[in-house]
Chain A
Amino acid sequence: MASDVTTREPVRFFLERFGLTEQVLEQIVGTAIARRADYADLYFEFRTMQSLSMEEGIVKTANQHIAQGVGVRVIAGDKTGYAYSDDVSVESLRLATRSAQAIAYESGESQAVAVHRTTPTHDLYALTRSPLEAPLTDQVDLLNRIDIAARGHNARIKNVMASVGVEQKLVLIVSSAGLVVGDVQPLVRLNVTCIAEDGTNRQQGTYGGGGRVEFDFLMQNDRYLRFTRAAADQALRNLQAVDAPAGTMTVVLGPGWPGVLLHEAIGHGLEGDFNRKKTSAFAELLGQPVASPLCTVIDDGTIANRRGSLNVDDEGTPTGRTVLIEKGILRGYLQDRLNARLMGMPLTGNGRRESFAHIPMPRMTNTFMLAGESTPEDIVRSVDRGLYAAYFGGGQVDITNGKFVFSASEAYLIEAGEITRPVKGATLIGNGPDVLKRISMVGNDLHLDEGIGTCGKDGQSVPVGVGLPTVRIDGLTVGGTHAG
């Protein structure tokens, strides 16, 4: 499947596979920026995804998907012309270029562009073996072991659904700024869902993880067993869960994946496009306090082997570490090329796209809050009556009015400083610009999530990471059924 040349030399892979030369690419990019365009780029992609799924004790489906294609983008002012094709040839590139440059109204001459190959400055996921090279029999075996482990964990686990996905995406970016850069992006993901039954009471628990890692990552330190037990325990705990309270109360978020709160509540609102267009609740608040002084929030695409990390973003810019909020003060936005140029701000390496069929946008990578000084135990002890949220299903935000929602799949009541009964079906709702101001304690236990996050924006999905220490939020609305 993946030959050595693909994993080590992505640029050469594309040139050889599609019979292209750097001269041809220079010519096409040069034509693209004729007609007074400001910028043009080509994005080549070759992506192989494999997945195996198990349910009812047998691995019953196998999928393989190979996607290849090229996207041609031409930017003139704040206008973007885009054309893509899954047929990669000189002829289709010329056709796509003509379509894409229809956006630039003024005609002009083709410009000379000299491209030079660069190597990404980061090397965040160099693997000795591509995840695609993991023997399928090992993957089948892993899923079978998960089934046995979950059922053996507790007799009330009645069904186990697990899937393992391995992926390798090769990209080549050629821009009118003279850039030619390639990257090989591996991705591994394991998901486990358990159904627990007790009489007519049926509940579900889901857990998983992965990253830009080798397949063996899932086996290291019995990681897959830990994920399996977490899914099973979640389902079992939900069998005992009481109705969630309804109303405004103190909420403690556990470490790790609950960082999805940062992603929804403030991360999206700090993406450059929404701020350039002044459609974000955070527009024009740079330098202003937007959070409690206990909060420092970072977006970092450079953490080795993380699901949200990239050597270069999908416009060829090296990823970086961007301080979004420093001790409560708004310090930065996340940018792609178009928005950075129009706002006169630096590139941050956050221009991402789902595939060659999509226009890049400013997107998050790994977004997290730095650790504070409180112990998690002290934080829980400080709450007389409230909710402890340990794990979440997903969230959503309206970036214009800042309102966000997310659903707790594992939560507990806090009564007199103790975590007590599990509650089911709790939804948290709040206001992005307001919620971080209500953070009154930050734990010393920052954890990044296990590597399962996928973020959707304007119909495009990209892998992301989140992280959080334990935090106490004074007054968040909990949307349960149990009023009063």
Chain B
Amino acid sequence: MSAQPLEEIAELLLAAAKRNGATAADVVVAEGDSLDVGVRLGTVEKLKQARQKHLGLRAFVGERSAVTSSADFSRAALEKLAADTCALARIIAPDPFSGLPNPADITTATPDLDLYDPEVAGLTPERAIALATEAEHAAMAADARITNSEGAEAAASTDQVVYASSVGFRGTYRNSGVSLSAVPIASENGSMQRDYWYSAQRKLARLESPDAVGRKAAERVLRRLNARRVATCEVPVIFDPDMASGLMRHIAAAVSGYSLYKGTSFLIGKLGQRIAPQFMTVVDDGTIIGALGSKPFDGEGLATRRTVVIDQGVLTNYLFDTYSARKLQSHSTGNASRSVGSAPYVASTNFILQAGTTSPQEIIRSVKSGLYVTELIGFGVNPVTGDYSRGAVGQWIENGELAYPVEEITIAGNLLAMYDDIEIIGNDLDMRHSVIAPTIKIARMTVAGD
């Protein structure tokens, strides 16, 4: 830990900003430790350890503002940073929408959301190496066709975050995160495939076992062997939960206040309209105990909360921070995210497509001929129009069964039409990311191949 508590450094910086002419300011200070080990073919390949600290200052001079960051916590450096920030702010155009939240809106409570696990802080390099070794071994031992490996990795990090602002907010909390992944390579008939599985949690005890991580990675890579292409066609497409979460990420980006006022969202003007089937509900909830996207207050000191974004198919809420809300005559939804080096922006917390009642097996059985997508690559999503075209890997479905692996194909459509065309939502919701969805079936998309 630093010689000086992070809270005191935040106070010093706020005071320095005021001395240098700031009319308002906020500060974020973060300090943390990280450990990252990699094992490949049974031996340790890398061992990385670090302790890092950062601070960020946003200073307002009237309606002008600037954001700076540094890792130098010395008194002299803090004074210089404050002076630099105020000088930078003075050259910027005034923006009448800028500013800190209304003091009445900031929260005074810092609920304990169970975000920190001392066991993660105590994870030794030896234990991390053992976890990674075991995960890789489980993958390699699963099948003789698994001939190589990109390795397995175990990583742990803990940090403390302090946020303080000149409207009176003071808050701090601790985070922990731990993950385990394996990337086996399988080969058959002269061609190779690679796939992975990972588990990420805030608590060590909740991490999937190394054996489970390795075995799932093996299953995923084996089923890709001898993949083929298919002819260009229009068919139903099923997204597995990880790929379906990508479709939720596009919604999260499109309901951000920033995308809306900049005109870069395909959901502009859709508030209050039906954009998805009646059985589809999507919520953003930053208050879920122990969840990866939870936090006790947002990046501007407002309470995090539960916001229903799509309620039974109807787009009911956009997500805002203070600035984007003022731009659009609305109210912050407590979705300000503040990294040390940049001004607040809108980010989802835990963004969740509510589970349906159908099992993934039944969803697959509902398809006579179609595609089950397990990986998407490339950047073919246009946030302005919703046009969607990405490289896909998966399994071809014939008569309700996974028949053979496919690759080097694309799937294309438009996100608005795709959400509208959701036919079934699965019951297999798993909290392994901060953006999650169960299996989804879309009635029809263009698959391009031969």
Contact = CB atoms under 8 A, between A and B. Distances in A.
B48 A82 contact: yes
A429 B409 contact: yes
Contact of B148 (A279, A405, A478): A279
A137 B67 CA distance: 17
A81 B387 CA distance: 45
B407 A401 contact: yes
B450 A248 contact: yes
A204 B264 contact: yes
B449 A407 contact: no
Interface in A439-484: 477-484
B394 to A, nearest CB: 13
B262 A480 contact: no
Interface stretch (B90-98, B115-123, B200-208): B90-98
Contacts of A246: 232, 410, 412, 446, 448
Contact of B232 (A58, A102, A158, A483): A483
B194 interface: yes
Nearest to A55: B262
Contacts of B446: 246, 479-483
Interface string A209-229: 000000000000000000000
B390 interface: yes
A144 B232 CA distance: 47
A431 B407 CA distance: 10
B194 A279 contact: yes
Contact of B343 (A61, A204, A357, A396): A61
Given A83-B48, A86-B71, A400-B194, A405 B448 contact: no
Interface in B176-193: 185, 191-193
B421 interface: no
B47 A103 contact: yes
B410 to A, nearest CB: 2
Interface stretch (A65-73, A110-118, A119-127, A308-316): A65-73
Contacts of B66: 61-64
A62 to B, nearest CB: 4
B390 A63 contact: no
B182 to A, nearest CB: 14
Nearest to A197: B263
Given A59-B92, A403-B407, A405-B410, A64 B194 contact: no
Contacts of A61: 65-67, 92, 343
B412 A481 contact: yes
B19 interface: no
Interface string A41-64: 000000000001001001111111
User: Range of interface residues on chain A?
Assistant: 35 or more
A130 interface: no
B341 A65 contact: yes
Contact of B185 (A58, A65, A161, A279): A279
Contacts of A100: 47, 49
B233 interface: yes
Contacts of B390: 405, 427, 479
A23 to B, nearest CB: 25
Interface stretch (B211-219, B314-322, B375-383): B375-383
A480 B412 contact: yes
A401 B193 contact: yes
Interface of A: 52, 55, 58-69, 78-87, 99-100, 102-103, 136-137, 140, 158-159, 161, 195, 197, 202-204, 244, 246-248, 277-279, 281, 357, 359, 393-398, 400-401, 403-407, 424-427, 429-431, 477-484
* Nearest 4 Cβ contacts at the A-B interface: A479-B410, A405-B378, A405-B391, A425-B387
Given A100-B49, A359-B48, 16 more contacts: A55-B262, A61-B66, A62-B65, A62-B67, A67-B71, A79-B45, A197-B263, A204-B264, A248-B449, A279-B194, A396-B378, A400-B193, A401-B192, A425-B389, A478-B448, A479-B412
